[in-house]
């Protein structure tokens, strides 16, 4: 009786996992990640505890038996653990951070999840029931997404462009729905109840609709590839068997190609499918302006596309660094260190912690061994499916195609908890083989062992629950309150940041949020000066705490250096800032910010030679970056006018001229040379970037006046007079001169 209850409770915990994607609680930092990750941990922690109680109660019946799929997962986990211990930062590799909540610890939970699935889903009907739960959850997610897209209900982010639903990200949602669709097709071919089949078709339809509304090109291409291989497999392998047959071996000794008419049917479908795809490809230029977003995005796939160029650049970075740790990689969660090492300002993303390619991510995290271990699981699944083609044809045809679709999608994205739990379910489903275990049910229960295990597990669960469930939630919530209440309740904000930053886990993220909140606090006129000082002191203390704990993370070092530079009281403090910025420069040799801050630091210290040397170094490091040339031009145009002009002419033809107050530097340079007409386009660009700065319009009016373009000057003054008349106070004489010149003209 006790065994049955424990089994029932464990199954209930497992049955809750498919509803992970519905867990979304606002009021947390990265709410789409933290809440469902903690929910997953809690379910698996309790599920494993119940299993261990069953093991103590009846060891013979519940003794673990590991198939090769699970063994390969354990090998993969072991390789990642070794890689993490030898990588850049073991702590981060193991525990991850709030933005991802992955790392080795996540792999451990996923391995436990797979193990429990294999123990408690003993029969095919159990796996099919689990898929039904996945379909129910995915259909709800999709319906929420439709409400979001068409603004049908007061849902989160209603009326947005690409659908994100409860997942919070269009690409992650697409990956989740892609797997759900494939599982739905497999379920449909194995379900005999008409009502459930109708429900399955409805779920597949709504999931497909929302998948297309995500406009995620990788997932749509994966879907197309999956459909193609499904038709191809049917055209080659499917015997003449009715839907619902569980064993083809009963009907055919070998898989024979479809005879005559049936074979031609699938070949015709395949040909039509290829023609449709080919037609889309050849007419993609005409579809590039389509009002349907996913059609437009598919039609405009090109290596010239900004997003594609970014991905290719990041992939090159990864492969460039691979030679330094080929065998075991840099460890999970450490790609941001590699990204910073090779970062250049022509990439649109300032910070990147993934290659957006699962296979490259595995190569960078675990090296050749890590990627080999990951691929070994995938290859073994393909092998099992091909081997099962006689016993369960639809398992072979559908899941083989699904793995291809999912594998292609993973070339352009990375897994999260929403897709990881589905992939590990797929591992369990593919490797499942029904066994008769009736002979193990009559063993006598070991009550003494059960009682001992119960006490031990209570103690372990308290510790693990505190460390892996309660504490992350507590820290995360404190970070959220810290930045959310920075204006409404500054003291509460301060207290929560102080609490969050007492722990190593998430300390960099908390310190960065605190640093951003400090800017908000300093901008508030009604905040007490003492409170501002306390914020400043806490920010400095905690940025230092994070920079010491994570010495290879550039963020904390660079922000701390900038903080000291902007708020120092003693010139000696600049020595600390200099060291931090030099370390930042070493960690990211082609990132502009450390150079810019060092230049400002040396300028404050009146070290003109050192300041100029920093800019010269930046120009050497980034010869194709115009922003560096404009900075150097601004520094030396008084001393070396010819070189300054050369730098100016080269810089304006390159990217980044507007970065780091570049437009102002160009304007100052041109005005100094009395090149008023040449300065006008840069003033107009500056006004575009800051339209509420009416003092810029006033300066532009003066430049127009000096260029004898009185009409344009009056136009700017009229705009100022209409929208910000106080800006003209003190400039009445200039306005009078302008009006006289205008009237005279």
Q: Find the mean pLDDT for residues 541-553.
A: 94
Cβ atoms of 713 and 704 within 8 Å: the answer is yes
DSSP three-state, residue 655: strand
Query: Which strand (E) or helix (H) includes residue 183?
Result: helix 170-190
DSSP lists the bridge partners of residue 655 as: 625
Per-residue pLDDT, averaged over 440-459, amounts to 86
Alpha-carbon Rg for the chain, nearest whole angstrom, is 31
Residue with the bigger pLDDT between 660 and 505: it is 505
| Average pLDDT estimate for 432-461 | 82
Q: Is the dihedral of CA 129, 134, 140, 146 positive or negative?
A: negative
Whole-angstrom Cα distance, residue 411 to residue 218?
8
Q: What is the mean pLDDT of residues 480-499?
A: 92
Our separate counts of H helices and E strands in the chain read: 34, 0
DSSP 18-60: GGGGG---SSSSSHHHHHHHHHHHHHHHHHHHHHHHHHHH-HH
Q: What is the pLDDT of residue 244?
A: 47
Token pair, residue 220, equals 């749509």
Please, which pLDDT band fits residue 572 given cuts at 50, 70 and 90? confident
Mean pLDDT of the chain: 91
- Is there a contact between 328 and 84 (Cβ–Cβ < 8 Å)? no
Nearest 10 degrees: CA dihedral of 654, 655, 661, 666? Answer: 20
Matching residue, tokens 């308290």:
462
Query: What stretch of H or E contains 211?
Result: helix 194-213
Q: What are 650-695's pLDDT values in tens digits?
A: 999 988 888 888 999 999 999 999 999 999 999 999 999 999 999 9
Mean pLDDT of 553-565: 95
- Give 163-179 as a DSSP string: --TTTT-HHHHHHHHHH
pLDDT class of 348 with cuts at 50, 70, 90: confident
Residues 6+ apart with CB under 8 A from 198: none
What is the pLDDT at residue 441?
57
C-beta atoms surrounding 572 within 10 Å: 8
Alpha-carbon gap, residue 562 to 551, rounded angstroms: 17
For residue 523, the model assigns a pLDDT of: 86
DSSP letter, residue 247: -
Distance CA 658, CA 656 (A): 5
User: Which ranges in 417-506 belong to alpha helices (H)?
Assistant: 417-431, 447-465, 471-484, 490-500
632 touches 613 (CB < 8 A): no
Please answer whether residues 340 and 554 qualify as being in contact, where contact means their C-beta atoms are separated by less than 8 angstroms: yes
Q: Which residues contact 676 (CB under 8 A, 6 or more apart)?
A: 670, 703, 706, 707
Q: List phi, psi (to 5°) of 683.
A: -65, -45
pLDDT interval class at 741 (50, 70, 90): confident
Do the beta carbons of residue 97 and residue 333 sit within 8 Å? yes
Q: Which domains, from first to last, does the chain contain?
A: 16-35+67-105+140-439 (no CATH), 674-745 (1.25.40.10)
CB 530 within 8 A of CB 569: no
Residues 299-330 have pLDDT tens digits of 888 777 777 888 889 999 999 999 999 999 99
Question: Can you point out the beta strands (E) in 416-530?
Answer: none
pLDDT for the residue 42: 97
Query: What is the per-residue pLDDT for 250?
Result: 47
Residue 312 contacts by C-beta under 8 Å, 6 or more apart in sequence? 303
Q: CA–CA separation, 209 vs 595, rounded Å? A: 49
Per-residue confidence band for 285, with pLDDT thresholds at 50, 70 and 90: confident
Average pLDDT over every residue of 534-542: 93
Report how far Cα 573 is from the mean position of its chain's Cα atoms: 37
User: Residue 291 has what DSSP assignment?
Assistant: S
Burial bucket for residue 467 (CB in 10 Å: 0-12, 13-18, 19+): exposed
201: its two tokens: 């078709």
- What 3 state SS string does 581-638 have? HHHHHHHCCCCHHHHHHHHHHHHHCCCHHHHHHHHHHHHHHCCCEHHHHHHHHHHHCC
Which residues lie below 8 Å from residue 706, measured CB to CB, with a gap of 6+? 676
How do residues 577-629 score in pLDDT, each as one tens digit? 999 999 999 999 999 999 999 999 999 999 999 999 999 999 999 999 999 99
**Distance from CA of residue 658 to its chain's centroid?**
28
* Helix 306-322 vs helix 358-387: crossing angle, to nearest 10: 90
Sorted by sequence, the CB contacts under 8 Å of residue 194 that are 6+ apart come out as none
Measured from the Cβ of residue 189, the count of other Cβ atoms closer than 10 Å reads: 17
pLDDT given for residue 440 in this prediction: 55
Q: How far apart are CA 407 and CA 415, in angstroms?
A: 11
> What mean pLDDT comes out for the span 256-271?
71
Residue 319's nearest CA partner among 352, 360, 351, 359 is 360
pLDDT of the residue at 236 = 86
Close Cβ partners of 581 (under 8 Å, ≥ 6 residues apart) = 557, 558, 561, 594, 597, 598, 601
pLDDT in tens, 230-260: 999 988 886 654 444 444 444 444 444 445 5
Q: Which of these, 358, 367, 318, lies nearest to 102 by C-alpha position?
A: 358
pLDDT reading at 181 higher than 90: yes
Tell me the mean pLDDT in the region 130-139.
98
Alpha-carbon span 451 to 593, nearest angstrom: 61
Tokens (6 digits) for 110: 């996923």
Cβ–Cβ under 8 Å, residues 53 and 450: yes
pLDDT tens figures, 40-59: 999 999 999 999 999 999 99
Q: Provide the whole-model pTM.
A: 0.91
Give me the mean pLDDT over the 88-108 stretch: 96
pLDDT confidence bin for 478, thresholds 50/70/90: very high
Return the sign of the alpha-carbon dihedral for residues 238, 240, 241, 243.
positive
Lowest mean pLDDT among 86-95, 120-129, 304-313: 304-313
What pLDDT sits at residue 136? 98
Tell me 105's DSSP state. H
Q: Which two tokens stand for residue 417?
A: 């908890």
Q: Which of 261, 228, 563, 281 is nearest to 404 (CA)?
A: 228
425 pLDDT higher than 90: yes
Partners of 625 in beta bridges: 655
Taking a C-beta distance cutoff of 8 angstroms, is the pair 191, 124 a contact? no
Closest CA to 387 of 329, 437, 433: 433
Running DSSP on this structure, what letter comes out for residue 727?
G
């Amino acid at each position: 009786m006790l065994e049955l209850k424990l089994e029932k409770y464990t199954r209930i915990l497992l049955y809750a996992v498919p509803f992970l994607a519905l867990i979304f609680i606002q009021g947390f930092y990265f709410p789409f990640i933290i809440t469902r990750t903690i929910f997953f941990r809690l379910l698996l922690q309790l599920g494993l505890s119940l299993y261990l109680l069953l093991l103590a109660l009846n060891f013979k019946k519940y003794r673990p038996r590991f198939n090769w799929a699970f063994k390969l997962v354990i090998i993969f986990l072991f390789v990642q653990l070794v890689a993490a211990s030898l990588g850049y930062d073991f702590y981060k590799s193991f525990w991850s951070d709030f933005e991802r909540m992955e790392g080795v610890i996540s792999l451990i939970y996923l391995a436990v999840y797979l193990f429990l699935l294999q123990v408690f889903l003993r029969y095919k009907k159990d796996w099919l029931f689990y898929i039904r739960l996945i379909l129910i959850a995915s259909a709800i997610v999709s319906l929420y997404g439709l409400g979001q897209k068409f603004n049908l209900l007061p849902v989160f982010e209603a009326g947005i462009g690409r659908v994100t639903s409860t997942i919070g990200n269009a690409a992650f949602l697409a990956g989740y729905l892609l797997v759900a669709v494939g599982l739905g097709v497999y379920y449909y071919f194995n379900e005999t109840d008409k009502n459930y089949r109708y429900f399955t078709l409805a779920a597949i339809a709504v999931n497909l609709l929302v998948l297309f509304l995500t406009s995620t090109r990788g997932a749509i291409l994966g879907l197309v590839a999956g459909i193609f291989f499904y038709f191809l497999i049917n055209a080659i392998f499917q015997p003449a068997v009715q839907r619902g047959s569980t064993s083809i071996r009963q009907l055919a000794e070998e898989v024979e190609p479809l005879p005559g008419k049936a074979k031609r049917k699938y070949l015709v479908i395949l040909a039509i499918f290829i023609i449709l795809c080919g037609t889309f490809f050849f007419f993609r230029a005409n579809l590039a302006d389509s009002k349907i977003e996913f059609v437009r995005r598919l039609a405009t796939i090109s290596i010239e596309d900004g997003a594609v160029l970014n991905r290719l650049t990041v992939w090159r970075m990864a492969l460039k660094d691979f030679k330094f740790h080929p065998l075991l990689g840099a460890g999970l969660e450490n790609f941001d260190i590699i990204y910073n090492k090779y970062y250049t300002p022509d990439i649109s993303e300032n910070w990147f912690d993934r290659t957006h390619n699962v296979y490259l991510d595995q190569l960078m995290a675990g090296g050749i061994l890590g990627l080999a271990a990951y691929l070994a699981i995938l290859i073994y699944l393909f092998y099992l499916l091909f081997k099962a083609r006689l016993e369960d044809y639809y398992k072979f045809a559908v899941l083989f195609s699904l793995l291809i679709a999912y594998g292609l999608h993973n070339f352009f994205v990375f897994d999260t908890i929403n897709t990881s739990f589905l992939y590990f379910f797929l591992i369990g489903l593919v490797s499942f083989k029904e066994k008769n275990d009736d002979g193990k049910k009559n063993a006598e229960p070991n009550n003494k062992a059960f009682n001992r295990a119960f006490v031990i597990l209570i103690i372990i669960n308290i510790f693990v629950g505190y460390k892996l469930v309660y504490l992350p939630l507590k820290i995360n919530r404190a970070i959220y309150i810290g930045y959310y209440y920075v204006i409404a309740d500054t003291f509460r904000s301060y207290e929560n940041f102080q609490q969050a930053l007492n722990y190593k886990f998430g300390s960099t993220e908390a310190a960065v949020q605190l640093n951003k909140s400090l800017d908000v606090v300093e901008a508030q006129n009604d905040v007490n000066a003492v409170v501002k000082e306390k914020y400043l002191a806490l920010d400095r203390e905690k940025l230092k705490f994070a920079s010491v704990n994570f010495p290879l993370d550039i963020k904390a070092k660079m922000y701390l250096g900038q903080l000291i530079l902007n708020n120092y009281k003693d010139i000696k403090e600049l020595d600390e800032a200099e060291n931090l910025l030099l370390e930042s420069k070493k960690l990211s040799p082609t990132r502009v910010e450390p150079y810019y801050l060092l230049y400002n630091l040396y300028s404050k210290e009146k070290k003109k030679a050192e300041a100029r040397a920093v800019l010269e170094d930046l120009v050497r490091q980034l010869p194709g970056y115009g922003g560096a040339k404009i900075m150097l031009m601004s520094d030396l145009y008084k001393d070396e006018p010819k070189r300054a002009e050369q730098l100016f002419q080269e810089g304006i033809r390159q990217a980044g001229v507007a970065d780091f107050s570049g437009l102002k530097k160009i304007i100052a340079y041109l005005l100094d040379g009395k090149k008023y007409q040449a300065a006008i386009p840069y003033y107009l660009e500056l006004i575009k970037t800051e339209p509420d700065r009416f003092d810029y319009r006033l300066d532009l009016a003066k430049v127009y006046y000096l260029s004898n373009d009185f009409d344009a000057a009056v136009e700017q003054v009229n705009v100022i007079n209409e929208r910000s008349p106080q800006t003209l106070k003190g400039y009445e004489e200039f306005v009078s001169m302008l009006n006289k010149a205008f009237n005279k003209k």
